């Protein structure tokens, strides 16, 4: 009897203790690593076919990685989760492409939980983390906009446009949507991508601690890069094809362009500091951040999220302070960090860094990808291999690449 | 002596009339506020379908977005060749269907290409596109009718590529090429359209590795069409009424109508034709020729307006008429510039839009001969437009010179006549000014709408479309302008007020000269000017 009572007490104490530990852990980890990254690995790629949007949501892994609000958004916008998953995968690919020649090569872990996707590096507020946040949010924006033009998401802004016009009040929702399309068409996809990306990606970031501010800023920076790289194209279709009537639209850039730009920003990222960073310089900062005539802005004002606009302004209306007061404060497209990057040369199990052991390097390069730097002075092991490569290729636009196969001797260097 | 209403109307009545016209004008601008932008677009991404049986020539085999076998991206195409791949575009997206109010459909394709190492790049890429268009309609229970063939064509196009982005030849980098105009439909009779595009391999050797294909479709906004058609519905009977009134007024005169009256009448008729809300018919009938028809309607109206200005200026110049009755023959030199310009534009239009009736994928600009032909027509039209404006400016300059010469004679006239003639000159100048203002407003609004386009919103807070406000405003302005002209230049029934002070020599001076046939002049200003020039 005594034993059992003792056991129960012990159990409760233990459970309390572990629970409390978990709570403090969660609080500590707030803003460190976005769980939703997990959707990148949720389900096999063949399950992500746009033809079966319903099947994906039911995956159990999704339930564990998404927050309540994210689940709601996904439920309200069928097909959205596929797009976000696609976006996350594009982000990983692009990140690995951009960092293929760097010490840190954007390694992703075998999937456990969302925030661990990129390893423990995201626990640090360093440049690499900034890049991960920016590129994932940019990729999600991009992928949602693209999915809209594929018709994979049914809710892409087709009904919220011209919602307030008295002429177009429909009886039901669907009727209203059709009438609105007839009256004024649909608004553009990037606005939807931008807005949903904000809602979805920034869910967990409340913007209170410096780390959360950093995440918010970098997420926004990623989105602004997508937005600003949109290319305007126009077509005249007035009388006899003249420009009496001209219609313009924005074209989504290839994601590689955005990856390149973000890499540039990574190289020139701003080191910020927490001192006095709590100033809510709302007005000035906001006008600074939202360029005039931005599509997303117009969307924000007449979309379903209008009532949250005030809170949103508050959420994004902060100005970060640079560590060096002589530097300019970071702009809306700059990446920001507040911790120095750890060394990536050596293994660091605490941060999940594998080190540069076994990485290929370039003997002749004097850059980071050169063996001298890449191997951190450990030296490299040359290895002679015969590479079977394609050469003298003739290309056709899609598929048939007629090539000769050439064998070349090549010396590959790998870091010791 | 009969004059026009303009001269005989009291200042008060004139201001009331002008006030009414200005109210109409303001209403036209306000109507534009509720209209959405004139046109809208939709980006449609391609679905890459696999055609396992490419040699099947069946014209009614359609690939939809739900095709049996589709590719996620074009990176993994092992075992496939170009003829297996079909780009499928369904319009519109998002479970909506086209409305006939949306009037027309213009489609452009954009091929996103990726550079592959070792590939030679050309700044201009020749394309050969096999395009098929089908349509379907919504049935009463919300389902779709099966896809039916609309057009099938093998067309050549070219893209201009910007190779700067990959100057350092990085593998796997995208490069930018211009979009390709693909088709143009004169009306949107059906609810859904389906486009299947194939790129035969043999003719597309210059095309790089295609990564993504996007179609942009442009259609008129139904709301904008509705606003425009409502405006036309209101203006059509109004113009018709004014026209009938004007013609009755001319008809009950004992004289034969003057040239300017004929010109005004035909101008009014072309305006009435332009105002005729033909768009209602396109809601019930399949009218692919709507585009040509509206082009021709507008063209005829502009031609008539330009001719009217010429004749108007000419009829007020009156230097050496020798009493001859004015007729159009006198203006053949000037009018021929308009005729040549309009005819070349008409031929150009028929070449492009006329052929598009049969083949919506046709474009005159893709073949070198076609481009030369089209360009020469456009240049010819431009040249004749320049000639016309030179003529017009010269004539207007002459009129003003004449008037200023006559003005110097005015002080020697009796008080009443002087005031009278000064008033006429003032009103003539006023109308010239109105014409100039209208022309200037048109030009400025055209430039503004060009600037505003793409910016889309003038200001985030103002929820209206600048281009549609300008469009309805300018459209209304020309209606108001011509109605005003018809009213003010209609012959007046009032006789000249007897001039008690003008009993001396001036009376004789301003009485009609026997050489003039009485009815040929419609305005006393013109007779005044004629006499003065004969003196």
- DSSP string over B314-355: HHTT-SS-TTPPP-GGGGHHHHHHHHHHHHHHHHHHIIIIIH
Ranges of residues in chain A with a pLDDT under 70 are 1-35, 38-65, 109-116, 157-179, 187, 207, 275-315, 317, 393-396, 398-402
Pairing of strands B209-220, B105-114: antiparallel
Q: Does any CB of chain B come closer than 8 Å to the CB of residue A185?
A: yes
* Rounded Cα–Cα distance for residues B402 and B420 (Å): 17
Residues in chain B with CB shorter than 8 Å from the CB of A174 are 95
Residues in chain A with CB shorter than 8 Å from the CB of B40 are 184-186, 247
Residue of B nearest to A147 (CA): B45
Residues in chain B with CB shorter than 8 Å from the CB of A188 are 43
Cβ-based neighbour number of residue B256 at 10 Å: 12
Put simply, the answer to whether B174 touches A186 (Cβ < 8 Å) is no
Provide, rounded to the nearest whole percent, the portion of chain B with pLDDT above 90: 7
A83: closest CA of chain B, how far (Å): 13
Residue B200 has pLDDT above 50, yes or no: yes
Predicted pLDDT of residue A290: 38
b/e code A22-54 from CB counts within 10 Å (16+ = b): eeeeeeeebbbbbbbbbbbbbbeeeebebeebe
Put simply, the answer to whether A398 touches B455 (Cβ < 8 Å) is no
* Rounded Cα–Cα distance for residues A193 and B244 (Å): 57
Residue B270 has pLDDT above 90, yes or no: yes
Residues in chain B with CB shorter than 8 Å from the CB of A391 are 118
B322: closest CA of chain A, how far (Å): 43
* Rounded Cα–Cα distance for residues B375 and A83 (Å): 46
Put simply, the answer to whether A240 touches B36 (Cβ < 8 Å) is no
Which A-chain residues 106-145 have CB contacts (< 8 A) with chain B?
A: none
Cβ-based neighbour number of residue B394 at 10 Å: 13
Give the residue, B409 or B289, on which the prediction is more confident. B289
Residues in chain A with CB shorter than 8 Å from the CB of B120 are none
Backbone phi and psi for residue B358, each to the nearest 5 degrees, phi listed first:
-85, -45
B373: closest CA of chain A, how far (Å): 15
Q: What is the mean pLDDT of residues B201-210?
A: 77
Is the distance from CB of A251 to CB of B110 less than 8 angstroms? yes
Put simply, the answer to whether B216 touches A154 (Cβ < 8 Å) is no
pTM of the model: 0.77
Is the distance from CB of A286 to CB of A318 less than 8 angstroms? no
Helix B290-315 to helix B368-409 angle, to the nearest 10 degrees?
Answer: 30
Q: Render pLDDT for A267-325 as a digit per residue (tens, 0 to 9).
A: 888 888 876 544 444 333 333 333 333 333 333 333 334 444 455 556 676 777 777 77
Put simply, the answer to whether A186 touches B81 (Cβ < 8 Å) is no
Residue of B nearest to A78 (CA): B94
Cβ-based neighbour number of residue A135 at 10 Å: 31
Q: Which helix (H) or strand (E) holds B155?
A: strand B148-162
* Rounded Cα–Cα distance for residues B79 and B73 (Å): 15
Predicted pLDDT of residue B233: 92
In angstroms, the Cα distances linking A367 to A265, A356, A371 are 18, 15, 9
Q: How confident is the model at residue B444 (pLDDT cuts 50, 70, 90)?
A: confident
Is the distance from CB of B104 to CB of B91 less than 8 angstroms? no
* Rounded Cα–Cα distance for residues B370 and A236 (Å): 19
Q: Does any CB of chain B come closer than 8 Å to the CB of residue A2?
A: no
In angstroms, the Cα distances linking A242 to A246, B338, B378 are 8, 18, 11
Identity of the residue in A51, A247, A248 whose CB atom sits nearest the CB atom of B66 = A51
Q: What residues does each domain of chain A span?
A: 28-158+184-230+255-355, 358-416
Which A-chain residues 215-234 have CB contacts (< 8 A) with chain B?
A: 231-234
3-state SS class at A337 = strand
All residues at 6 or more sequence positions from A377 whose CB lies less than 8 Å from its CB, including other chains:
none
* Rounded Cα–Cα distance for residues A18 and B368 (Å): 79
B464: closest CA of chain A, how far (Å): 10
A163: closest CA of chain B, how far (Å): 11
Give the residue, A367 or B245, on which the prediction is more confident. B245
Residue B229 has pLDDT above 50, yes or no: yes
Q: What is the mean pLDDT of residues B150-169?
A: 79
Is the distance from CB of B124 to CB of B160 less than 8 angstroms? yes
Per-residue H/E/C for A121-166: HHHCCCHHHHHHHHHHHHHHHHHHHHHHHHCCCCCCCCCCCCCCCH
Put simply, the answer to whether A298 touches B457 (Cβ < 8 Å) is yes
Residues in chain B with CB shorter than 8 Å from the CB of A51 are 66
Architecture of the A358-416 domain: 2-Layer Sandwich (3.30)
Q: Which helix (H) or strand (E) holds B29?
A: helix B11-34
Q: How confident is the model at residue B504 (pLDDT cuts 50, 70, 90)?
A: very low
Cis-peptide into B92, omega within 30 deg? yes
3-state SS class at B366 = coil
A199: closest CA of chain B, how far (Å): 21
Residue of B nearest to A247 (CA): B39
As a whole number, the mean pLDDT across chain B is: 79
Is the distance from CB of A351 to CB of A342 less than 8 angstroms? yes
Pick the closest to residue B158 from B370, B443, B466, B407 (CA basis): B370
Residues in chain B with CB shorter than 8 Å from the CB of A229 are none
Put simply, the answer to whether B218 touches A235 (Cβ < 8 Å) is yes
Residue B21 has pLDDT above 70, yes or no: yes
* Rounded Cα–Cα distance for residues A78 and A51 (Å): 11
Q: What is the mean pLDDT of residues B287-295?
A: 87
Is the distance from CB of B115 to CB of B210 less than 8 angstroms? no
End-to-end CA, chain B:
21
Residue B506 has pLDDT above 50, yes or no: no
Tell me the torsion sign for CA atoms B141, B144, B148, B152: positive
Q: Does any CB of chain A come closer than 8 Å to the CB of residue B356?
A: no
Predicted pLDDT of residue B495: 52
Q: Does any CB of chain B come closer than 8 Å to the CB of residue A257?
A: yes
Predicted pLDDT of residue A62: 59
Predicted pLDDT of residue A175: 43
Put simply, the answer to whether A183 touches B223 (Cβ < 8 Å) is yes
Q: Does any CB of chain A come closer than 8 Å to the CB of residue B90?
A: yes
Predicted pLDDT of residue B2: 43
Residue B534 has pLDDT above 70, yes or no: no
* Rounded Cα–Cα distance for residues B195 and B193 (Å): 7
Q: What is the mean pLDDT of residues B392-407?
A: 82
All residues at 6 or more sequence positions from B199 whose CB lies less than 8 Å from its CB, including other chains:
A397, A398, B82, B85, B87, B127, B128, B129, B130, B207, B210
Predicted pLDDT of residue A394: 67
B427: closest CA of chain A, how far (Å): 32
Which B-chain residues 254-273 have CB contacts (< 8 A) with chain A?
A: none
Tell me the torsion sign for CA atoms A346, A347, A350, A351: positive
């Amino acid at each position: 009897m005594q034993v059992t009572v003792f056991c129960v007490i012990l159990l409760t104490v233990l459970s309390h203790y572990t629970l409390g530990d978990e709570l403090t852990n969660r609080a500590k980890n707030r803003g460190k690593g976005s769980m939703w990254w997990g959707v990148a690995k949720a389900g096999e790629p063949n399950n992500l076919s746009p033809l079966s949007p319903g099947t994906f949501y039911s995956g159990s892994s999704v339930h564990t990685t998404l927050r309540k609000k994210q689940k709601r958004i996904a439920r309200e916008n069928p097909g959205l989760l596929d797009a976000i998953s696609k976006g996350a995968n594009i982000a990983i690919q692009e990140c690995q492409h951009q960092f293929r020649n760097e010490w840190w090569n954007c390694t992703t872990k075998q999937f456990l939980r969302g925030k661990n996707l990129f390893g423990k590096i995201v626990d640090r507020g360093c440049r690499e983390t900034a890049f991960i946040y920016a590129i994932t949010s940019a990729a999600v924006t991009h992928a949602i906009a693209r999915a809209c033009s594929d018709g994979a998401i049914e809710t892409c802004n087709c009904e919220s446009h011209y919602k307030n016009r008295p002429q177009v009040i429909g009886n039901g929702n669907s009727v209203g949507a059709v009438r609105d399309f007839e009256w004024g068409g649909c608004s553009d996809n990037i606005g939807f991508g931008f807005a949903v990306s904000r809602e979805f990606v920034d869910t967990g970031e409340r913007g209170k601690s410096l780390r959360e501010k950093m995440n918010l800023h970098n997420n926004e920076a990623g989105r602004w890069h997508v937005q600003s790289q949109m290319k305007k194209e126009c077509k005249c279709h007035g009388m006899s094809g003249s420009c009496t009537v001209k219609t313009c639209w924005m074209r989504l850039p290839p994601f590689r362009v955005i990856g390149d730009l973000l890499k540039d920003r990574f190289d020139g990222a701003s080191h910020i500091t927490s001192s006095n960073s709590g100033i809510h310089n709302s007005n000035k900062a906001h006008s600074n951040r939202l360029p005039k005539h931005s599509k997303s802005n117009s969307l924000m004002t007449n979309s379903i999220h209008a009532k949250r606009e005030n809170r949103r302004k508050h959420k994004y209306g902060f100005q970060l302070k640079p560590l060096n007061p002589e530097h300019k404060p970071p702009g809306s497209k700059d990446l920001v960090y507040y911790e120095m990057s750890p060394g990536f040369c050596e293994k660091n199990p605490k941060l999940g860094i594998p080190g540069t052991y076994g990485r290929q390097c370039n003997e002749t390069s004097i850059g980071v990808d050169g063996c001298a730097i890449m191997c951190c002075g450990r030296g490299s092991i040359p290895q002679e291999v015969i590479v079977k490569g394609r050469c003298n290729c003739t290309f056709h636009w899609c598929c048939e690449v007629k090539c000769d196969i050439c064998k070349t001797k090549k010396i590959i260097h790998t870091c010791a | 002596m009969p004059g026009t209403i303009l001269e005989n109307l009291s200042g008060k009545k004139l201001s009331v009339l002008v006030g009414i016209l200005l109210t109409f004008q303001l209403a036209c601008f306000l109507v534009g506020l509720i209209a959405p932008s004139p046109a809208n677009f939709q980006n449609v991404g391609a679905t890459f379908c696999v055609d396992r049986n490419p040699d099947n020539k069946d014209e009614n085999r359609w690939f939809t977005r739900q095709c049996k076998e589709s590719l996620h991206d074009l990176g993994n195409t092992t075992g496939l060749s170009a003829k297996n791949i079909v780009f499928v575009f369904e319009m519109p997206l998002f479970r909506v269907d086209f409305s006939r109010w949306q009037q027309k459909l213009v489609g452009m394709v954009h091929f996103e290409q990726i550079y592959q190492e070792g590939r030679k790049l050309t700044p201009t890429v020749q394309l050969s596109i096999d395009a098929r268009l089908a349509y379907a309609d919504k049935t009463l229970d919300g389902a779709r009718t099966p896809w039916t063939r609309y057009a099938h064509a093998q067309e050549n196009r070219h893209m201009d590529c910007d190779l700067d982005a990959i100057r350092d030849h990085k593998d796997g980098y995208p490069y930018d090429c211009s979009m390709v105009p693909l088709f143009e439909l004169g009306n949107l009779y059906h609810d859904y359209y389906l486009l299947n595009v194939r790129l035969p391999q043999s003719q597309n050797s210059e095309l790089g590795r295609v990564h993504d294909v996007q179609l942009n479709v442009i259609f008129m906004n139904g709301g904008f069409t509705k606003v425009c058609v409502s405006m036309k519905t209101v203006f059509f009977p109004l113009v018709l009424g004014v026209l009938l009134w004007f013609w009755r007024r001319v008809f009950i005169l004992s004289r034969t109508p003057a040239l300017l009256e004929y010109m005004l009448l035909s101008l009014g008729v072309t305006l009435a034709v332009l105002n005729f809300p033909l768009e209602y018919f396109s809601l019930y009938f399949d009218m692919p020729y709507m585009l040509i028809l509206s082009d021709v309607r507008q063209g005829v109206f502009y031609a008539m307006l330009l001719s009217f200005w010429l004749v108007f200026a000419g009829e007020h110049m009156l230097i050496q008429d020798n009493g001859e009755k004015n007729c159009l023959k006198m203006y053949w030199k000037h009018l021929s510039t308009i005729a040549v310009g309009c005819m070349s534009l008409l031929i150009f239009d028929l070449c492009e839009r006329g052929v598009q009736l049969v083949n919506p994928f046709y474009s005159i600009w893709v073949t070198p001969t076609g481009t030369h032909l089209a360009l020469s027509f456009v240049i010819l039209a431009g040249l004749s437009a320049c000639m016309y404006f030179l003529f017009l400016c010269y004539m207007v300059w002459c009129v003003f010179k004449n008037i200023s010469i006559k003005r110097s004679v005015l002080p020697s006239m009796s008080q009443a006549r002087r005031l009278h003639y000064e008033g006429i000159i003032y009103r003539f100048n006023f109308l010239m000014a109105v014409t100039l203002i209208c022309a200037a407003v048109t030009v400025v609004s055209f430039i503004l709408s060009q600037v505003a386009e793409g910016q889309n919103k003038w200001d985030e807070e103002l929820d209206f479309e600048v281009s549609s406000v300008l469009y309805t405003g300018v459209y209304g302005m020309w209606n108001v302008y011509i109605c005003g002209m018809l009213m003010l230049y209609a012959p007046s029934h009032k006789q000249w007020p007897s001039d008690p002070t003008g009993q001396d020599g001036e009376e004789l001076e301003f009485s009609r000269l026997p050489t003039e046939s009485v009815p040929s002049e419609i305005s006393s200003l013109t007779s005044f000017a004629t006499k003065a020039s004969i003196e």
